[in-house]
Amino acid sequence: MIDKSLLLCCNFTDNVNCEDYGKLMCSLKAGRWKDVINHEFAHNVLHKSSSGTSNGLGQDNEELQTATAFLFAFIQGNFTGPEFQFDSEAHLAEHGLQGIDFRRELAVDGEDLNVNVKQPELLAICKRLVRSIEEANENNLEVKWWKLRLTCIHQQVMDELCNTLYLDFKKCAEWLHENISSLGDKELEALLMIEIAGGYLLFHRTQKCESFLERVCNFLDVELKVEGLLGVRTKFQQKPLPQLCMRVERASNIGLPLSEQTNGKTELPKLLKLDDDVRLEKIQFSNPEDNAVMTLPSLIQCLVFTKLKCIFRSQPKDRLSEEEIEPYITALLYQTHGPLSVRYATLLQNVNRESNSSRTVERCLKQCEEVLMLINSDSKYEVIERLSYFFASMLPPVWNIRKQLGDLMLSLGLVKTALDAYLNIQSWEDVIFCYNRLELRHKAAEIIRQELDKQPTVVLYCLLGDATDDVECYEQAWNFSNHTSSRAQRHWGNFYYFKKNYEDAIPHLQKSLEINALQETTLLRLGYAAIQLEKWDLAAQSYLRYTHLEQRGFESWNNLAKALIKLGDKHRAHKILNEALKCNYNNWKVWENFLVVSVDTGNFEDVINAYQRLVELKEKYLDVEVLEIVVKAIADNIPDSQGRPSTRLKKKMNSLLAHQCVQYANEAEVWQLSALLAENELSRAQKLQKAYRAYVQANQSWVNTKELRMKVLNVCKDICISSLNAIDDGTVNNMERSAALSQLSSARLSVRATIKAVENLGSTFIEDWEQCKPIFEELKTLIETIQSKAETLHK
């Protein structure tokens, strides 16, 4: 078992003696990477990595420390700064490794490293060495943990998500979770679970991330609680309103070292002043005690940040989700002590959140510039401060921060300045966008051709095709990659997709996904193209694969259900739409689809729930056909899809019908359906009476209309029968009997008016008289019965 001080080195905490880290950590503290890599370790590392052999972990674990040294150097050069140059060319040549294309070695699933990655040989050698160590120590938890971290770092410097890297990560994560108890250290176990949660989030597996975050909270016995407290947001706000505030319950009694002990020596960068005439710097709560910032241990800060990233990733990008993550960001930004990488990541997340507001976008620009300046500065922070809790912070690579800065400039209308920022990081898609906005599209093609002349790449060929609409460029990219680039096929397919040439787009999109299955946007486009061509099998497969990657997109669930309905699998479509509703509870289109499928599959309770939700969303909603199906199912006690009796839904359906009757008092059919589920004969007669009035009042010439005439005659017949039954009911009390007598009188008047209207028209003018005659004669008999009953009751 490796000494746990090696694991602690990833946190570089102040409460651990630097001497415990060994020679490697002392060199790190002094910032002498060249002493660590060039001389003492280089020969051993290059020899082991090139030969692929390992003698197992030695007593001092020198090989693993060497691998971590290369990884930390790579992280410093690409994530934490300051920029670090390692002249490895001579060493590579010395060991016969010159001429190796490390970028190609690190390419995965046809996806390349980002063009801005510096010193990829450090990452490649580290991967070689860790692979060699793992072969000799297959069931060693510490080695697996470092491999997990290495996999996440590798993914972060790739242009796209890679399925192979995800499978490697997943395998490590599952093994580590099964064996985590062998660590025997509460802090390390919690840290490992947080890193696993962050890794799943990196690969867009939000549900897995949420699951591990919940385990961490249960393990530490803490609760991240967001509650509403009265407070004000602006300087002139008079009335306090409910505002969200985040609290960590039981955070002071969990046995973790305080942030002053772990990161007390680090002077954290602060949120810049807003200097706005209206908005306060932060929410001021009415209760002064609520404005105090809860001091959180460094590990809990990592937990809180992972939670807010998970919320941001899983929620739609709207004002509501911004408000939901605000209390988490506030709780982190006002911590006095904590990990530097977590503070950087939180500031950048706040920049992302506030960049859509005109009042805060300028502060965002300055804040992003300050973070970049601090990362590039070689005097502000020591290397070990920068690396503290780095693997749990999910700090993005430097070029992503530069791109974020360019996006802010673009949002402020600084197109040329943003263009310079994009050119600096070779973000050619954004460069093309800026040139198009400046109406200089030809300039985009020109600069890409210049870069191609310097050094051709798959990306440049693809982007030249995007800039010139020349399909031959995609073929050149495909050939240049020796038919291995998923990007080349993706751009090729997108070219046809955006021209709505779906028939030609599909083969290229499919080929791209064969090379790298972890492409969310490509799956969506393939599914949409398949729907347009009515290739329902392909559409269902595409959207199903997408939902495995991203469970929160309601449109994908909805489209998957549509494809399944077309394939005749309505029961499965019903379950799929249920998932879509979990993602977006407020989309009436999904609810309407769910309603229709629930009717077709006999899920009557879901029909009622969907109907009620549609009424809430659309204020006014009426579908008599759906109501009739459910009412008749309940009235006839038809079992639902699960074999349960439908009569159990009678009360719920009556509540819905009552609401519909109020909203649509002039809709006779609604009253008739409500009458079918009436509690007794009197209630039924009264509702039928209202249905009669709705029929005759809505259309004064009802007697001249064949369809309406028959409906009125039938409802009159039902009124008579129910009114007579109500009078004959021996269980009613005196008040109900009085109401029954009144109803009998109303029925008599209604039927007489109906008979008179038909007689005035004359049977010779009623084309369907033979069909009406039996009911008409029956009404005459019923009116005589009512008359006789009324006379008897009045004697």
Q: What is the pLDDT of residue 1?
A: 43
CATH code for residues 457-515: 1.25.40.10
> pLDDT band at residue 382, thresholds of 50, 70 and 90?
confident
Q: Which residues of 210-237 are buried (b: 16+ CB within 10 A; e: fewer)?
A: bebbebbbeebebebeeeebebbeeeee
Could you tell me the pLDDT band of residue 766, with boundaries at 50, 70 and 90? low
Neighbouring C-alpha atoms within 13 Å toward the C-beta of 431: 22
Region of 61 on the Ramachandran plot (φ > 0 left; ψ -120 to 50 alpha; else beta): left
Q: Which of 372, 324, 379, 323 is nearest to 347 (CA)?
A: 372
Helix (H, G, I), strand (E, B) or coil at 1: coil
Q: How many Å apart are CA 337 and CA 300, to the nearest integer? A: 12
* Least-confidence region, from 112-116, 176-180, 262-266, 695-699: 695-699
Distance CA 605, CA 43 (A): 71
Query: What pLDDT score was predicted for residue 403?
Result: 95
Does the fold of domain 519-585 match that of domain 457-515? yes
Q: Does residue 609 have a pLDDT over 50?
A: yes
pLDDT at 529 (0 to 100):
95
pLDDT beyond 60 at 730: no
CA distance 160 to 165: 11
Residue 284 has a pLDDT of 86
Can you give the residue ranges of every domain in the chain?
4-183, 457-515, 519-585, 682-795
Alpha carbons within 13 A on the beta-carbon side of 149: 27
Long-range contacts from 631-640, C-beta under 8 angstroms, 24+ separation? 631/657, 631/673, 631/676, 631/677, 632/676, 633/602, 633/604, 634/604, 634/677, 635/676, 635/677, 638/602, 639/602, 640/602, 640/603, 640/604, 640/605
d(CA 462, CA 111): 13
- How much is the pLDDT for 40? 44
Q: How confident is the model at residue 234 (pLDDT cuts 50, 70, 90)?
A: confident
Question: What is the pLDDT, as a whole number, of residue 666?
Answer: 86
Residue type at position 581: L
Of 590, 595, 615, 616, nearest to 605 by C-alpha is 595
Provide the residue type at 412 as one letter: L
DSSP string, 480-549: HTTS--HHHHHHHHHHHHHTT-HHHHHHHHHHHHHH-S--HHHHHHHHHHHHHTT-HHHHHHHHHHHHHH
Mean pLDDT of the chain: 84
Is the pLDDT assigned to residue 553 strictly greater than 80?
Answer: no
Residue 47 binned pLDDT confidence (cut-offs 50, 70, 90): low
Q: State which amino acid sits at residue 288.
A: P
- Residue (of 398, 396, 394, 354) closest to 372 by Cα position: 398
Half-sphere exposure of 303 (CA within 13 A, CB side): 31
**C-alpha to C-alpha distance for 366 and 376, rounded to whole angstroms:** 15
Non-local CB neighbours of 387 within 8 Å, separated by 6+ positions? 10, 12, 28, 72, 75, 76, 80, 341
pLDDT at res. 8: 54
- CATH code assigned to 519-585: 1.25.40.10
How many other C-beta atoms lie within 10 A of the C-beta of residue 655? Answer: 12
Tell the burial category of 584 from Cβ atoms under 10 Å away from its Cβ (0-12, 13-18, 19+).
middle
Predicted confidence (pLDDT) per residue in 270-304, tens digit = 999 988 878 888 888 888 888 888 899 999 999 99
Helices in 13-162 by DSSP H: which ranges? 23-30, 33-34, 42-51, 62-75, 89-94, 102-106, 120-136, 141-156
- Stretch 477-490: mean pLDDT: 92
Where does 137-247 have alpha helices with state H? 141-156, 163-178, 186-202, 206-220
* Residue bearing tokens 């008359």: 787
Instruction: Please determine, for residue 58, whether its predicted confidence score (pLDDT) is greater than 50.
Output: no
Flag whether pLDDT at 640 surpasses 90: no
Q: What's the pLDDT at 45?
A: 52
b/e map 365-402, b = 16+ CB within 10 Å: bebbeebbebbeeeebbbbbbbbbbbbbbbbbbbbbbb
Residue that has been written with the tokens 């490992």 in this structure: 192
Nearest CA-CA partner of 427 in 447, 413, 456: 447
The helix/strand/coil state of 294 is: coil
What are residue 243's DSSP bridge partners?
Answer: 229
Task: Express each pLDDT in 160-193 by its tens digit.
Answer: 899 999 999 999 999 999 999 888 888 889 999 9
Task: State residue 783's pLDDT score.
Answer: 78
DSSP H or E segment with residue 755: helix 734-761
Picking from 441, 381, 457, the residue whose alpha carbon sits closest to that of residue 116 is: 457
* pLDDT confidence bin for 349, thresholds 50/70/90: very high
Q: Which of 778, 776, 779, 757 is nearest to 768 (CA)?
A: 776
Answer whether 193's CB lies under 8 Å from 171's CB.
Answer: no
Res 39 pLDDT > 50:
no
For residues 477 and 488, is the Cβ–Cβ distance under 8 A? Answer: yes
Please give the model's pTM, rounded to 2 decimal places.
0.79
pLDDT in tens, 688-718: 888 888 888 877 777 777 778 788 888 888 8
Report CA 88 to chain centroid distance, whole Å. 43
Name which residue leads in pLDDT, 116 or 586.
116
In sequence order, what E strands does 198-338 have? 223-234, 241-249, 279-285
What is the structure's pLDDT at 125? 85
Contacts of 127 (CB under 8 A, 6+ apart): 106, 150, 154
Strands 279-285 vs 241-249: parallel, antiparallel or unpaired = unpaired
Query: How far lies 538's CA from each of 387, 521, 535, 666, in Å?
Result: 46, 16, 6, 47
What integer pLDDT is reported at residue 398 of this predicted model? 96
- Which residue type does 467 have? A
The amino acid sitting at 264 is G
